[in-house]
């Protein structure tokens, strides 16, 4: 068929594309997470953490870290043949906060990655999405492979609404990151449907 839109008589579905942010504090594994699931070579904007930056770049807890995101990460994943996610990883350091508004434009939802050794680092991200009513899910990145806290502990500590999904994950594992993405998409869809209902009723 013309333009290759039909294959063996079966109409091809135009996939829905959704924008999802991957946010969180410094060094929680945002770049790792986008890289683990992306089916295209992820776009990265990493710069070396230098001696000069030592006074402002707090690497406590992530001493092995040598680079940091200075603009964004970008990746893509097909969740289903009719559903494609474009992933935008935010920079984690406070001095790049001005980029968040740009990145958040048009986002359906967000993943806030959390390292339970430095839980307070994600407060700002949680606050950011709550204030803008952007639905989000928490991905608890279990750095050494073992969860130190239950999802309920994390929910309580972050004072999250009951419907916010909290999912344990390993940012280096594709299937694990996929679970967090599915959770945020489901949550965002429910949120959108509820909002539509409240507008029309
Ligand atoms: N052991 C372990 N290491 C991880 C995990 N996730 C990320 N790392 C490591 O942690 C470090 C930080 O990961 P990044 O993905 O650069 O973190 P980021 O959140 O993008 O950092 P910024 O962009 O600087 O805020 C890297 O050295 C990763 O290899 C994990 O689940 N387990
Ligand atoms: Mg990064």
Helix, strand or coil, per DSSP, at residue 6: strand
Pocket probe for ligand 1: among 22, 27, 44, 116, the residue whose CB has the most ligand atoms within 8 Å is 27
Q: Is any atom of ligand 1 closer than 6 Å to the C-beta of 176?
A: no
For the segment 105-160, what is each residue's pLDDT rounded down to a tens digit?
999 999 999 998 899 999 999 999 999 999 999 999 998 767 678 999 999 999 99
Decide whether any atom of ligand 1 lies within 6 Å of the 171 Cβ: yes
Tell which CATH classification among 1.10.3720.10, 3.30.300.30, 1.10.1040.10, 3.40.50.300 matches the domain 13-200.
3.40.50.300
Domain ranges of the chain: 13-200
Question: Which residue has its alpha carbon closest to ligand 1 atom 14?
Answer: 29
- Tens digits of residue pLDDT in 150-190: 999 999 999 999 999 999 999 999 999 999 999 999 999 99
- 66 within ligand 1 shell (Cβ under 6 A): no
Whether 2 has a pLDDT exceeding 60, the answer reads: no
**Closest ligand 1 atom to 173 CA:** 31
């Amino acid at each position: 068929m013309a333009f290759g839109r039909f294959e063996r008589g079966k109409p091809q579905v135009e996939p829905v594309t959704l924008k999802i942010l991957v946010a969180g504090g410094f060094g929680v594994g945002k770049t790792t997470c986008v890289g683990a699931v992306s089916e295209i070579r992820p776009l990265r904007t990493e710069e070396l953490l230098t001696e000069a930056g030592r006074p402002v770049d707090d690497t406590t807890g992530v001493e092995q870290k040598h680079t940091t995101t200075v603009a964004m990460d970008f990746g893509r994943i097909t969740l289903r043949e009719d559903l494609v996610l474009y992933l935008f990883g935010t920079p984690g350091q406070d001095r790049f906060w001005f980029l968040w508004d740009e990145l958040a434009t048009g986002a359906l939802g967000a993943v806030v990655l959390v390292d339970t050794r430095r839980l307070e680092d994600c407060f700002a991200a949680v606050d950011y999405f709550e204030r803008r009513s952007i639905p989000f899910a928490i991905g608890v990145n279990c750095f050494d492979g073992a969860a130190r806290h239950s999802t309920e502990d994390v929910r309580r500590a972050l004072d999250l609404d009951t419907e916010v999904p909290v999912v344990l994950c390993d940012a280096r594992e594709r299937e694990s990151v996929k679970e967090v993405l599915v959770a945020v998409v489901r949550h965002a869809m429910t949120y959108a449907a509820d909002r539509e209902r409240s507008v029309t009723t």
